[in-house]
Amino acid sequence: MALRIATLAASLLLSVTGVCASTIPLTCLGPGGREVSLGVQACLPTGQGPRLAVCSRVLNVSSWAFTEIGCMPSP
C-alpha cells in the first residue's frame, strides 16, 4: 500500500512540475571527461585499438555506439 501511495505521489509530482524524460538533456562523457551532446563523434580507446564512436541514446540512457572505423586520438 505504501508503495502504491509513493508511486502515485511521484506521478502527481512529475505531472505538476512538467518534468519528463524527453526534456532532460542526455550527454556522454568524452575524452578528458568532457560532456558531449547526442550525435557527436569521438575517437575512443577499445580493446581493438582506437575506434570512432557516436554518442547515442539507448533506452533513454546515453551510450557510446562504436563503429568499425579506426581513428587517431588527438593528443
In a domain, 65, yes or no: yes
| More confident position, 21 or 53 | 53
Look-up of cell digits 588527438:
74
pTM of the model: 0.62
List the 51-58 sheet strands across, edge first: 41-44, 51-58, 61-70
Kindly state whether residue 12 falls inside one of the protein's structural domains: no
Is 64 within a domain? yes
Q: Note the pLDDT of residue 31.
A: 81
CATH of the domain at 45: 2.40.10
d(CA 11, CA 38): 27
Q: Is residue 9 part of a domain?
A: no
pLDDT of residue 3: 45
pLDDT of residue 70: 87
The better pLDDT of the pair 60, 12 is held by 60
Inside any domain, residue 1: no
Whether residue 18 is predicted with pLDDT greater than 70 in this model: the reply is: no
CA distance 34 to 36: 6
Structural domain boundaries enclosing 68:
24-75
Count of domains forming the chain = 1
